[in-house]
Chain A
Amino acid sequence: QVQLVESGGGVVQPGGSLRLSCTASGFTFVTYAMHWVRQAPGKELEWVAAIRQDENKKDYLDSVRGRFAISRDNSKNTLYLQMDSLRAEDTALYYCARGAAQGRTMAEGFDYWGQGTLVTVSS
Chain B
Amino acid sequence: DVVMTQSPLSLPVTLGQPASISCTSSQSLLYSDGNTYLTWFQQRPGQSPRRLIYKVSNRDSGVPDRFSGSGSGTDFTLKISRVEAEDVGVYYCMQGIYWPRTFGQGTKLEIK
Contacts and interface: CB of A to CB of B under 8 A. Distances in A.
| Interaction A to B | yes
Interface of A: 35, 37, 44-47, 50, 59-62, 95, 97, 105-111, 113-116
A116 B99 CA distance: 22
Interface of A is mostly: loop
Task: Output the residue of A60, A106, A110, A114 with the most chain B CB within 10 A.
Answer: A110
Nearest to B47: A115
18 contacts: A44-B103, A44-B106, A45-B43, A45-B94, A46-B103, A61-B100, A105-B33, A105-B35, A108-B37, A108-B54, A108-B96, A109-B96, A110-B51, A110-B94, A111-B60, A113-B49, A114-B48, A115-B48
Interface in B24-39: 31, 33, 35, 37, 39
A59 B60 CA distance: 26
B103 A116 contact: no
A113 B94 CA distance: 15
Given A95-B48, A95-B49, A108-B96, A47 B33 contact: no
Interface string B36-67: 01010101000011110010000010000000
A114 B48 CA distance: 7
A113 B52 CA distance: 12
| Interface residue range, chain B | 20 to 34
Interface of B is mostly: loop
Contact of A59 (B39, B100, B104): B100
Contacts of A97: 49
Task: Output the residue of A37, A44, A47, A116 with the most chain B CB within 10 A.
Answer: A44
Given A97-B49, A110-B41, 13 more contacts: A44-B103, A44-B106, A45-B41, A45-B43, A45-B49, A46-B103, A47-B101, A47-B103, A50-B101, A59-B100, A105-B33, A105-B37, A111-B51
